[in-house]
Structure 1
Amino acid sequence: MSERPVLRVLVTGSTTWDNPDTIRRALSPLPPHSVIVTGDTPGADACAMAVATGLGLTVQRMQKNRADQRAFPGEAWRGLNQRMLDTGIDLVLAFHADYGKPGCARGTVHMVELAQRRSAEVRIFRE
């Protein structure tokens, strides 16, 4: 009997995101053995952790570390973004109302661009 492949889904987005319903709609159709990978900030990350836990999905929360801070002074999130993707992400869900507006959503844009370079599927939610 073969083992089911695990879908690894990275959630990223605004630190001010406060719409759990959108995140719930995005996570609800995922297979029950999916793993949700997210960062350590309020907003989309925290909301995704709460929603995923409520849906019974596995959550892998990752934090910025000293290596991230050394590699990217003042922008440790860049290192965290790379490390999260390095865990083998299949799908990136990005939640940011200002995505696509000049000068906005720098961390989310960074993650989306990294994911696209690695050929991961990306879905962007603005509301």
Structure 2
Amino acid sequence: MCARPVSERPFLRVLVTGSTTWDNPETIRRALSQLPPHSVIVTGDTPGADACAIAVATGLGLTVQRMKKNRADQRAFPGEAWRGLNERMLATGIDLVLAFHADYGQPGCARGTVHMVELAGKSGTEVRIFRT
């Protein structure tokens, strides 16, 4: 049986990732507004894109699953617990990753966002990147 394209599913589990300094809620609003009703937004616990996604998704009536770094993440990735969080968020059954980072693609920038995009690519999960 073939999987339906993401756009045809009745709801999605969507992971939002991005810059901790992201300050453009309208871009996130446009992206989340295009999701099917009852979609679930999975995101982390940082300011910027994560916090913006939580506020926008809540305003749109979407369910939000907010995840935090934990001790296991810190032990597995000393000084980079976000790597463990990224892995755990993706492992919750994500259909689509939305990445919001103005510096995505610039050398030495957007390490956490790049990490998530790479993880999603390896798992075959669709990714959409927003730079503005």
Q: Give per-residue Cα distances to partners, 1:36-82, cap 9 Å, x unaligned.
A: 00000000000000000000000000000000000000000000000
SS across alignment from 2:114: helix
SS across alignment from 2:42: strand
Match of 1:36 in 2: 41
Q: 1:113 aligns with which of 102, 110, 118?
A: 118
One-letter identity of the residue aligned with 1:107: G
Q: Which runs of 5+ in 2 are unaligned?
A: 1-8
Q: TM-score, normalised by structure 1?
A: 0.96
2:11 is the alignment partner of 1:15 = no
Q: Residues of 1 paired with 2:44 and 2:75: CA distance? A: 18
SS across alignment from 1:110: helix
- Answer whether contact 2:12 2:36 (CA < 8 A) is retained: yes
Q: 2:57 aligns with which of 52, 56, 65?
A: 52
Deviation at 1:6, TM superposition (A): 3.5
One-letter identity of the residue aligned with 1:116: G
Q: Residues of 2 paired with 1:6 and 1:74: CA distance? A: 35
Q: Residues of 1 paired with 2:23 and 2:37: CA distance? A: 24
Once the two structures are aligned, what percentage of the paired residues are identical?
Answer: 89
- Aligned residue pairs total 124
